[in-house]
């Protein structure tokens, strides 16, 4: 067995908000899971569940945002250490507004490099431009987010995050606001980029097809209180490297979607 600490580990995590007030609320409980650090390979974990079951709370705990860490009970470990705050080893992509509206695409992507003092200052433009091109935004670097489509704005969000080479990428419904063709393009792009970064990705989505297409593991959450109800690994067809449209037409893929749908309905009747 390897001595490498887990990328992420939750031990008996329970999160209660507004503790000791009339609005006290048990958001998630009994969270126990590990994600191993596999040599040269990051896992993608898709997180499905009804609204309010604590998916964002789990991402926020891993991200180390104020108001979330430390959890009310239990331990959240990243590379074997208790999370006490955010860090450049973890990147977050939200559904919307992951970028600064007053900065150009280039300055948005450079922002983290400057903030984390990554690379030599004179190299940062080149580092940022390389990612801007990888996400297909070459030529748009001097535009502001509002001048871009929703899909292009999510490309900026991916570049902003990946330029820092995080070991963990947290994605909270990143493609939910996009139309279906754009969403498929973003799935294709994500798979492509990921070969490069080898990060572990936690991705919240409402699309069961997206979850099955991208994931090594699918987690299905139940609600009140939020908890991890089912993990599916074996039944997932190897589809991630393939073209999203054609792989999603295959019969093994459709069977997996049916199985996940069935499990979702079983734990959330």
Omega within 30 of 0 (cis) for the link into 264: no
65 binds ligand ADP (CB under 6 A): no
- Distance of closest approach, residue 173 Cβ to ligand ADP, in angstroms: 8
- Distance of closest approach, residue 149 Cβ to ligand ADP, in angstroms: 25
Using CB distances below 5 to 8 A depending on partner kind, what does residue 251 bind out of Mg ion, ligand ADP, none? none
- Distance of closest approach, residue 56 Cβ to Mg ion, in angstroms: 3
Omega within 30 of 0 (cis) for the link into 165: no
The stretch among 52-60, 88-96, 136-144, 247-255 that binds ligand ADP (CB under 6 A) is: 52-60
The stretch among 6-14, 55-63, 86-94, 118-126 that binds ligand ADP (CB under 6 A) is: 55-63
Work out the number of other CB atoms within 10 angstroms of the CB of residue 210.
23
65 dihedral zone (left: phi>0; alpha: psi -120 to 50; beta): beta
At a CB cut-off of 8 Å and minimum separation 6, what does 150 contact? 96, 177, 178, 182
17 binds ligand ADP (CB under 6 A): yes
At a CB cut-off of 8 Å and minimum separation 6, what does 261 contact? 208
CA distance 133 to 198: 19
51 binds ligand ADP (CB under 6 A): yes
Using CB distances below 5 to 8 A depending on partner kind, what does residue 17 bind out of Mg ion, ligand ADP, none? ligand ADP
Question: How far, CA to CA in Å, does 81 sit from each of 5, 62, 133, 236?
Answer: 9, 11, 35, 31
Q: Which is closer to ligand ADP, CB of 125 or CB of 223?
A: 223
The stretch among 54-62, 129-137, 210-218, 231-239 that binds ligand ADP (CB under 6 A) is: 54-62
User: What separation, in Å, do the N-terminal and C-terminal C-alpha atoms of the chain show?
Assistant: 40
| Phi, psi (rounded to 5 degrees) for 107 | -70, -30
Q: Which is closer to Mg ion, CB of 56 or CB of 161?
A: 56
- Spell out, one character per residue from 194 to 233, where the chain touches ligand ADP: x when CB under 6 A holds, - when not: --------------------------------x-------
- Distance of closest approach, residue 71 Cβ to ligand ADP, in angstroms: 12
Buried b (16+ CB within 10 A) or exposed e, 54-75: bbbbbbbbbbbeeebbebeebe
Torsion over CA: 138, 143, 144, 148 (sign): negative
The stretch among 50-58, 140-148, 190-198, 231-239 that binds ligand ADP (CB under 6 A) is: 50-58
Residues that bind ligand ADP (CB under 6 A): 17-18, 25, 27, 49, 51-57, 67, 226
């Amino acid at each position: 067995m390897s001595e490498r600490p887990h990328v992420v580990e939750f031990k008996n995590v329970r999160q209660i908000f507004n503790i000791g007030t009339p609005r006290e609320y048990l958001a998630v409980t009994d969270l126990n899971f590990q994600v191993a650090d596999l040599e040269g390979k990051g896992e993608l974990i898709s997180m499905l569940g009804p609204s309010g079951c604590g998916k964002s709370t789990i991402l926020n705990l891993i991200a180390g945002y104020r108001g979330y860490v430390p959890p009310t009970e239990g331990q959240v470990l990243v590379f074997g250490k208790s999370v006490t705050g955010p860090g450049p080893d973890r990147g977050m992509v939200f559904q919307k507004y992951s970028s600064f509206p007053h900065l150009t695409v280039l300055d948005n992507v450079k922002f983290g490099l400057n903030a984390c003092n990554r690379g030599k200052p004179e190299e940062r433009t080149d580092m940022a431009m390389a990612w801007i091109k990888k996400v297909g935004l070459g030529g748009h670097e001097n535009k502001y987010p509002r001048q871009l489509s929703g899909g292009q704005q999510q490309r900026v969000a991916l570049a902003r995050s990946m330029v820092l080479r995080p070991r963990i990428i947290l994605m909270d419904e990143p493609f939910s606001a996009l139309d279906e063709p754009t969403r498929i393009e973003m799935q294709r792009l994500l798979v492509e980029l990921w070969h490069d970064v080898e990060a572990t990705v936690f991705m919240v989505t409402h699309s069961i097809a997206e979850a099955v297409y991208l994931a090594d593991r699918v987690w299905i959450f139940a609600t009140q209180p939020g908890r991890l109800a089912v993990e599916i690994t074996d039944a997932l067809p190897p589809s991630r490297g393939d073209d999203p449209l054609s792989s999603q037409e295959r019969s093994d893929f459709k069977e997996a979607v049916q199985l996940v749908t069935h499990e979702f309905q079983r734990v959330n009747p």
